[in-house]
Amino acid sequence: MAIVRDIKAEIDPQEIIDLIEQRQKRPVPQAWRQVIDEALVEARALVEPAIVYDVFPVVSAGSSALTVGDGIVLESPVVASLFGGAPEVVLMAFTIGRKLEDRVDELSKGSDVILSFTLDIIGSLAVANLGKGAYALIEGLAAQRNTKASIPLNPGTTHWPMSGQRVIAEAVGAGEAGIEAMESDVLRPFKTLSFAVALGDNVITPAEGSSCDYCENRDACRF
């Protein structure tokens, strides 16, 4: 198990504007743009990125699940199909910590709804951008092994139930990074994501495909 904390989750202000306009379905007024600038300053002090991961050997692949390491079962037919021929799989979880979501909760109980909403948007973008850095880390592991990193596959899709988040969190010791799997299998802090990536010579890379290709909701998903 390894934990990486010295990584940034940079946010472009235009990303914030674009996402707000996507959700609100109208242009962001100038007054709100000033709130965005203030929220970015505050968010930089609240975001505490952490990535936790481990590399496991592939043990066996069935029709509906892949087994890695010491009996860790990834219950997804897509994971089993795409990763079954690879020698190793990386399981990873990453988070921006709890400070930002605690601040959002605090503001939402008061009167500053716009700042609360804006900080929440920034948190969503921060964890998504952290994911890019997390995947780059896995690409580095693949390069060290003179092989390739596959597309990432994550629990919570149509082929992999949310219970997979608990499996990943427990497998990598995510508690050491302050990540908790709740009874609902949602990870806490809420701005936390998890995924699996195969390492091997014959895997499908991001240049060749996407995890969205294997999700039955891809035509309706706004992402």
Looking at residue 218, its pLDDT comes to 60
Per-block mean pLDDT, blocks of 10 residues, the chain (223 long): 89 91 88 91 95 98 96 97 97 97 91 91 95 96 98 94 96 96 94 97 92 69 53
Return all residues near 139 (Cβ < 8 A) that are at least 6 apart: 149
- What is the predicted pLDDT for the residue at 214? 73
170, 88 Cβ separation under 8 angstroms: no
What's the CA gap between 115 and 44, in Å, rounded?
14
Instruction: Judge whether 17 and 127 are in contact, CB under 8 Å.
Output: no
What per-residue confidence (pLDDT) applies to 111? 75
| β-strand partners of 149 | 199
d(CA 166, CA 192): 12
pLDDT at res. 219: 61
Top-tier CATH class for 2-212: alpha beta
Domain boundaries, the chain: 2-212
Angle between helices 13-24 and 113-144 (to 10 degrees): 120
pTM: 0.92
Residue 191 burial by CB count (10 A; 0-12/13-18/19+): exposed, middle or buried? buried
Instruction: Give every CB contact of residue 143 below 8 A, 6+ residues apart in sequence.
Output: none
Q: 5 φ, ψ to 5°? A: -120, -20
Quick one: pLDDT at residue 28?
87
